[in-house]
């Protein structure tokens, strides 16, 4: 008997490079987009890890590469100790039952020609979790009830539902195969504020009830901090900081995390009047040609010569609060000065 590994998910040096080609018939490779460039983290069973960052930072690609929707260029993705990047065919298909995904766009991720009962029932049939029409039907109705929809809706089509309801259907489909790990890729971004809370609460309740483990990917820091135990901040294909939500908010280390957090508006005018924003200059550089050294040095207000030359190591600064910055020990006092100017 082997020992139970301490983590449900272990990602090590995950790298996802996409080739950029030119020419129609004679395709030449002219470069690489380094969408994910050496990302490592672990997630415990029952934990939620949040992954935040701005458009194009590689957060969605990380989620997809973990589920093997893209086969990673390098690195390991261990699920219960098994490296998913090394298994294929039937073995991988069986593993896929354990790892599922909830997609961002509830309008595009459901087949408009299938009733929602068929949509949710399909994975049950494919993986033979229930045999016989009646048994599948029963399970579908149970799942609809689980996500707070009327089981009698099974015969309806996606267009008959609102955005929030569709997202519940997407959640029911992901849960149909009884997964242990779920990647939630921007699951509430397309929803109205009052509906977002309904879906966030549902995800939390399901986690408690079914013991699920989540990777929660979103660009809205307030939502990510709310739902996650720990939060990882990504910038240009790399994780720059990882800490518990409260720690990350109260004492961020990386200058990028500090700028990102200071930019998030807080719905309270009294708090807003007191806050100083760190306004970053310019846009995120292209991942096709990321800057040398620390990827953030082109926009970093406290960058040194060293930052342009060498990429900083990702180090633990106590209690699992890790960051990749050459000035990690002084950034906490330097950045507020920048904001005052």
Partner 1 sequence: MAPLLEVRNLQTHFHTQDGIVKAVDGVSFAVKRGETLGIVGESGCGKSVTSLSMMRLIPCPPGELAGGQILFDGADLLELSEERMRHIRGNRIAMIFQDPMTSLNPVLTVGRQITEALELHLQLGRKAALARATELLHMVGIPSPSKRLESYPHQFSGGMRQRVMIAMAISCNPELLIADEPTTALDVTIQAQILELINQLRDELQTAVIIITHDLGVVAGMTDRVTVMYAGRVVEAGSTTEIFANPRMPYTIGLLRSIPRLDEQEHRKLTPIRGLPPNLIDLPAICPFSPRCDYVQHACLHQNPPLRDVATNHQAACLFDITIDTPIPERPPEGLLV
**Phi, psi angle pair for 30, to nearest 5°:** -105, -5
Q: Which stretch binds partner 1 (CB under 8 A): 26-34, 171-179, 269-277, 313-321?
A: 269-277
Q: Estimate to the nearest angstrom the gap between the alpha carbon of 27 and the chain centroid.
A: 33
Question: What does the buried/exposed string (b/e) look like for 324-335 if buried means 16 or more CB atoms within 10 Å of the residue's CB?
Answer: bbbbbeebeeeb
Of these, 15, 32, 198, 207, which contacts partner 1 (CB under 8 A)? 198
* Residue 97 is a binding residue for partner 1 (CB under 8 A): no
> Which positions from 7 through 46 interact with partner 1, judged by CB under 8 A?
none
> Which positions from 156 through 195 interact with partner 1, judged by CB under 8 A?
162, 164, 192-195
Which of 161/314 has CB closer to partner 1? 161
CA–CA dist 131, 143 (Å, integer): 16
Q: How far is the CB of 56 from partner 1 (least distance, A)?
A: 9
Q: Which stretch binds partner 1 (CB under 8 A): 25-33, 278-286, 302-310, 331-339?
A: 278-286
How many Cβ atoms sit within 10 Å of the Cβ of residue 40? 16
Of these, 268, 310, 316, 337, which contacts partner 1 (CB under 8 A)? 268
CA–CA dist 200, 143 (Å, integer): 17
Of these, 17, 97, 226, 308, which contacts partner 1 (CB under 8 A)? 226
CA–CA dist 33, 318 (Å, integer): 33
- For the record, the structure tokens of 88 come out as 């294929």
Q: Is the dihedral of CA 258, 263, 266, 268 positive or negative?
A: positive
CA–CA dist 200, 202 (Å, integer): 5
Of these, 13, 83, 283, 316, which contacts partner 1 (CB under 8 A)? 283
* Residue 208 is a binding residue for partner 1 (CB under 8 A): no
Which of 128/270 has CB closer to partner 1? 270
Q: Please give the residue ranges that form the binding site for partner 1 (CB under 8 A).
A: 54-55, 162, 164, 192-198, 200-201, 204, 219, 221-223, 225-226, 246, 249, 259-272, 275, 277, 279-280, 282-284
């Amino acid at each position: 008997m082997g020992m139970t590994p301490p983590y449900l998910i272990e990602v090590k040096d995950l790298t996802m490079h996409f080739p950029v080609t030119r020419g129609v018939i004679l395709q030449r490779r002219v470069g690489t987009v380094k969408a994910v460039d050496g990302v490592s983290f672990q997630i415990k069973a029952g934990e939620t890890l949040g992954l935040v960052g701005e458009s194009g930072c590689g957060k969605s690609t990380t989620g997809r590469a973990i589920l093997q929707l893209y086969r990673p260029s390098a690195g390991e993705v261990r699920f219960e100790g098994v490296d998913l990047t090394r298994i294929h065919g039937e073995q991988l298909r069986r593993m896929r039952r354990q790892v599922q995904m909830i997609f961002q766009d509830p309008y595009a991720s459901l087949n408009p020609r299938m009733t929602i009962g068929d949509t949710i029932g399909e994975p049950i049939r494919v993986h033979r979790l229930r045999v016989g029409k009646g048994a599948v039907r029963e399970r579908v109705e149970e799942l609809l009830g689980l996500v707070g929809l009327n089981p009698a809706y099974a015969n309806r089509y996606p267009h008959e539902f609102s955005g929030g309801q569709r997202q519940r259907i997407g959640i029911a489909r992901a849960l149909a195969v009884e997964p242990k790990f779920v990647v939630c890729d921007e699951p509430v971004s397309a929803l109205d504020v009052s509906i977002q809370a309904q879906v966030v609460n549902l995800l939390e309740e399901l986690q408690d009830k079914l013991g699920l483990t989540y990777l929660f990917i979103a660009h809205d820091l307030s939502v990510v901090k709310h739902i996650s135990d720990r939060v990882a901040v990504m910038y240009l294909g790399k994780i720059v900081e990882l800490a518990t939500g409260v720690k990350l908010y109260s004492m961020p280390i990386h200058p990028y995390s500090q700028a990102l957090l200071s930019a998030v508006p807080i719905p309270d005018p009294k708090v807003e009047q007191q806050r100083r924003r760190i306004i970053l200059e310019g846009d995120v550089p292209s991942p096709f040609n990321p800057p040398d050294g620390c990827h953030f040095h082109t926009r970093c207000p406290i960058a040194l010569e060293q930052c342009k030359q060498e990429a900083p190591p990702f180090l633990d600064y106590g209690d699992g609060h890790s960051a990749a910055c050459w000035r990690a020990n002084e950034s906490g006092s330097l950045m507020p000065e920048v904001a005052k100017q």
